[in-house]
Amino acid sequence: MIHRCLLAGSVVWFSSLTLASEAQPAGVFPVVWEVSQGIQTPESVYVEPASNAVFVSNIGDGGPAKKDGDGYVAQLTLAGKVTKIKWVTGLNSPKGLRSHGDILWVSDIDRLVGISIRQAKIVQDIAVPGAKFLNDVACGPDGAVYVSDTLNSKLFRCLEGRVSAFAEGDEIESPNGVLVEGQRLLVAGWGLGLAADFSTKTLGRLFALELQTKQKTLITRQPLGNLDGLESDGDGGYIVTDYLAGKVLHVTAASEAMTLLKLPAGTADHAYVPAQKLLIVPQMNENKVTAFRLRTAK
C-alpha cells in the first residue's frame, strides 16, 4: 500500500532511510555531485562492484528507439569525476546496464551488447529476435542475462549466447526494471494499457518471479507508478523510480511505499550504494546525472 501518514513539511524516520512527504523538494537530501558536461540523454547508471566504477548509458540525441550509432557508455568515479565520457561508443540507444565477471551487458533496442570492462571494448553482440524496446538488464549468478522488453511486455533470458523467452503477457505488466535476488527475478512494471506517449491506463507494480517456476508474487499490491529503475536498499526493501512522475520511491521490506524525492519527469534507471547511502540518478530530460546522500536515521 502507499503510506501517506506524513504532515506537510515533516520528515519521518522509516526503516534506515529518511523519507519525505510528496510536498518535500529534492533538497531534503544533499546533492553530493552532479555531472552534465558530455552527458546526453542518460538512461541507466550502474556501479560495478569490483572496481566501484560508475557506468552511464547515454542514448544520445536520436531518441530511445533510433538506430543511429550515436549512443555510448560513460565511465565516472563514485566521487563524480569523469574517467572517460565516451568510454565505449558505437551503440544505438543503450539503456540497462549490469555486469557478470568482466562483461558489462547493455541492452540496445533489439540486441544485447557485451563489453569487456578490462578492454573497454565490445566483445559480444547478440540479437534478440522479435524485441522492440529492450530496457533494463539483470544478471544471475550462473551468468544468465535477463532483459525486459517493455513494449512487448516480455522478458528474455540469454545464457551462453542463446536467447529464449522467459515470461510474457499482461501478467508481467510491461516490465522495465529487473534485478536478480537469490532465486527470484524482481520486476518493476511500467503498467497496463500502454499508449503511444508511454502513459498507461493502470500503473505498474513491483513483483517477483521465481527463476525456476516463474510464479509471480506481488511486492506492492496496489499500482505504484510507471516504474523504471529498481535497486535493493540493502535492508530488505527496494528503491524504485517512476519515470513519468519524476519520483524516487522507497518500498520497505514490509511492502510499504513512500516518495523519497520528486524530480522532473525523466527520472530513469538509478544506482544505489547502501554502504554510503548514495543514490545516483540519471535525469534523462535534463541531460545530467545527480548523486544524492540519503540521510540515515539517528
Over residues 106-161, the pLDDT tens digits come to 999 999 999 999 999 999 999 999 999 999 999 999 999 999 999 999 999 999 99
pLDDT of residue 17: 52
Do the beta carbons of residue 264 and residue 289 sit within 8 Å? no
Instruction: Using alpha carbons, list the distances in angstroms from residue 115 to 99, 101, 160, 223.
Output: 9, 11, 15, 36
pLDDT of residue 115: 98
Enumerate residues 6+ apart whose C-beta is below 8 A from 197: none
Instruction: Count CB neighbours of 35 within 10 A.
Output: 20
pLDDT of residue 25: 47
Choice among 21-30, 180-189, 208-217, 236-245 with the minimum mean pLDDT = 21-30
Cell 520528515, located at residue: 11
d(CA 256, CA 270): 20
Percent of the chain predicted with pLDDT > 90: 86
Give CA angle at 110 (108, 116), nearest 5°.
45
> What number is the average pLDDT over the span 44-63?
95
Per-residue pLDDT tens for 223-254?
A: 999 999 999 999 999 999 999 999 999 999 99
Q: 36-127, which class in CATH? A: mainly beta
So where are the chain's domains? 36-127
Burial 253-279 (b: 16+ CB within 10 A, else e): eebbbbbbbbbeebbbbbbbbbeebbb
What's the predicted TM-score (pTM) here?
Answer: 0.90
d(CA 54, CA 83): 9
pLDDT at 18 over 90: no
